[in-house]
Amino acid sequence: MECKASFIKTGSKRRLAGETLVGILFATGIGSLVLLSLAAIYMFSARSFTEMANYMDLDGQSRLAMDLASRDIRRADRLSAYATNQLTFLFGTNQIRFTYDSSNKTLVRATATNSTVLLKDCDYLRFDILQKTPSNGAYEFYPAATATNCKIVQLTWTCSRKIYGTKANTANVQAAKIVIRSQK
């Protein structure tokens, strides 16, 4: 009799041990799926927050550069030299030059004494000069033939950065038409 009882205990232990292994495998599978889901949500959230912070930084940088350039252009006496990537303004006898360097992706403001980077991570920048010519009582903007005819400067640029090795967050095109106030 005693033998039979020990056989029953051993058999039930074997059945319980088998069920426990299946249970552990099942629980491990479900746990792995939960952890993978949490990791995916974390990665998506981290990338989204990084992109949002990056976009806000690019937008702030673009606005500040536009404000500083607009202030100088409005106060200028006149435009003395023009290229699609460079503008030179006169302030009495002083000069301010805005230059876009496509290899470094920067917009630089330079005077006789110092040089300041206004914009970084700039993929595209273009300067256009316009004149304001009245025609039949309407004030339309037309491309200026020379720098001396320039009354309005148009700035257009696009900036972007890489996040995790891929280009992302291309800021929408920033553009402004700025009137040189002292130019007739």
pLDDT of the chain along its 184 residues, tens only? 455 555 555 555 555 555 678 888 899 999 999 999 999 999 999 888 888 888 888 888 889 999 999 999 999 999 999 998 999 999 888 999 999 999 999 999 999 999 999 998 888 999 999 887 666 666 677 888 888 888 899 999 988 887 777 776 666 678 888 888 876 6
> 119 is in which domain, residue-wise?
3-179
Q: Is residue 155 part of a domain?
A: yes
Q: Is residue 51 part of a domain?
A: yes
Nearest to 151 by CA among 181, 172, 171: 181
Q: Is residue 139 part of a domain?
A: yes
Nearest to 95 by CA among 110, 116, 75, 114: 110
φ and ψ at residue 150, rounded to 5 degrees: -75, 125
pTM above 0.75, yes or no: no
144, two tokens: 């200026």
Q: Is residue 39 part of a domain?
A: yes
Q: Is residue 184 part of a domain?
A: no
Q: Is residue 73 part of a domain?
A: yes
Distance CA 62, CA 161 (A): 13
pLDDT of residue 108: 96
The DSSP-derived string for 28-73 is: HHHHHHHHHHHHHHHHHHHHHHHHHHHHHHHHHHHHHHHHHHHHHH
Q: Is residue 8 part of a domain?
A: yes
142, two tokens: 């037309």
Number of structural domains in the chain: 1
